[in-house]
Amino acid sequence: MTYFKKTLGLVAAALMLVAGPAAAAGKADTLYLFSWSQYMDPALIKAFEKRYDVDVVQNYYESMPEMFAKLQAGGAQQYDVIVPSNYYVPRLIDTGLIQALDKSKLGHLDNIAERFADPAYDSHNSYTVPYQWGDTGIAYNTDKLPDAPDSWAILFDPAINSDYPFALATDAQVVFGAACAWLGKPYDCTGRDAWKAAAREVLATKARDNFAAFNDGTPVLRQLARGNVAAGMTFNGDFTYYKSENPEAFKNIEFVVPKEGTELWVDVMAIPAKAPHPDLAHKFIDFLLEAKNGAQLSNHTYYASPNAAARPYLDDALTHPPAQPTPEQMKALHYIPSLSGDDLQFVQQLWTEVQSR
C-alpha cells in the first residue's frame, strides 16, 4: 500500500522483469515472487535461498490493477507468491486467481496477531497470510498549521487551512472514505448516495484556491520537506521512514491519524491458483512468519508487523506512533470495502469526473 515501495527501485524492477519466469524456465528449485518494488529485505531472500538451496526470482508491479491484469493474463500460472492489498483479496478469491492455503504446511501460523487472524477480507486466513500493515493519515507542517487538530479538517475545512497548499491522494476509495468520515459517515462508507456526497465534498475542496493536486504519499512527503505544500495524505510507514532518514527536513512535520476514521490497510501473501511451486510457496510464507524474520522484514520496510511473535525484535521506531498506532487510534482504523461489478464501475466513473472537472 505504501507509495514508497511502489515508486523506488523502478530501474531494478525493470531489470528483474526482463529476467522474469522465462529466465529460469524448467528449474524446479526456483520461487517466483510477484510483489511491490522495494518491499523485501534482500538479506531475507538470501537466507531463504540458502536454507532451502533454491533461487528466488522477483518480479514487480506498481499497482493493484496491474497485478490483477497480469494474473488474469497468465500470471496465475507463472508466480508462486504474490503480495496483494486486502481490498483486492475478495476479487482474487471470486475470480479463482488464488488457491486456498494448506495450513498443515504453515507451522508458524499462530504467530499472526489476533487482529489479523480472522480478517473480514479473508475469513480465517483461508487464502492469505498478512505481510505488513499500516494506516493512511495526514502529514502537515506545524509551523504553517500550528493548531491543526487530529482531523480531516486539516484538508477539508477552509477555516483550518485557507492559505497554504495541500494535496489529496489519487486513490478513489481512500479519498472518498476520507470525505465520508469528514461528513460524519463511516470511513468505510458504501452506497451510491454516500459516494455521491463524498464526490461533491471532494469537488468543493478541489475548487479551493489553495488545493495543490491529487498526489500520492511519497511525493507529498517530498513536497512537505521542500515547503511546496503544508499538508497532504500519506502512509504512516512512509512518514516514519522519511523522518528517520532526514530528521532535519522533517523536524516541523507531524503525522496524525484523523479521529473521524481512516484506512487500515494490510498487504498479504497469497499463492496463485496454478502456481508452479506451491510447496515452495508455503515454505516461503512460513519462513516470513518466523518471529525474527517477520521483525527483519518490518525493520527493512518501516511498516508495522502483523506478526505478534516478531514484536520483541522490532526496531524502536516501529514500536510507537506513527508506525504503531495507539489503542485509541486503532479504533479509528477501517478496512476499505472490496468493490466489484456495478459498484466498482460507479466509483471509478465518479472519480474520473472529480479529477477531470
Asked if the peptide bond before residue 322 counts as cis, ω within 30 degrees of 0, the response is yes
Instruction: Show me where the domains of the chain are located.
Output: 3-132+267-323, 134-263+333-356
CA separation for the pair 87, 344 (Å, rounded): 12
Q: Give the pLDDT score at 1.
A: 55
* Radius of gyration from C-alpha coordinates of the chain: 20
Q: Give the pLDDT score at 65.
A: 82
Q: Give the pLDDT score at 296.
A: 98
Task: Write the DSSP string, 290-342.
Answer: SHHHHHHHHHHH--B-SBGGGGGGS-GGGSSTTTS--HHHHTTEEPPPP--HH
Q: Give the pLDDT score at 16.
A: 39
What element of type H or E holds 267?
A: strand 262-269
Residue 32 annotated as lining a ligand binding site: no
- Do the domains at 3-132+267-323 and 134-263+333-356 have one common CATH topology? yes
Q: Give the pLDDT score at 218.
A: 78
What average pLDDT does the chain have? 91
* pLDDT value at 267 more than 90: yes
Question: Higher pLDDT residue, 321 or 75?
Answer: 321
CATH number of 134-263+333-356: 3.40.190.10
* pLDDT value at 11 more than 50: no
Q: Give the pLDDT score at 64.
A: 84
CB within 8 A of 39, min separation 6: which ones?
2, 5, 83, 132, 267, 301
Question: Higher pLDDT residue, 234 or 63?
Answer: 234
Q: Give the pLDDT score at 124.
A: 95
> What band does 297 get if pLDDT is binned at 50, 70 and 90?
very high
Three-state DSSP class for residue 344: helix
Q: Give the pLDDT score at 215.
A: 86
Query: Three cell numbers at 276?
Result: 508452479
What element of type H or E holds 72?
A: helix 64-72
User: Per residue in 15-50, pLDDT tens?
Assistant: 333 344 444 444 458 999 999 888 999 999 999 999
Q: Tell me the average pLDDT across 175-201.
A: 97
Class assignment of domain 3-132+267-323?
alpha beta
What is the DSSP-derived secondary structure letter of residue 8? Answer: T
Task: Write the DSSP string, 105-151.
Answer: G-TTGGGB-GGGSS-TTSGGGSS-EEEEEEEEEEEEETTTSTT--SS
* pLDDT value at 208 more than 70: yes
CA distances from 114 to 25, 92, 105, 156, 303 (A): 39, 24, 20, 34, 18
* pLDDT value at 6 more than 50: no
Q: Tell me the average pLDDT across 173-178.
A: 95
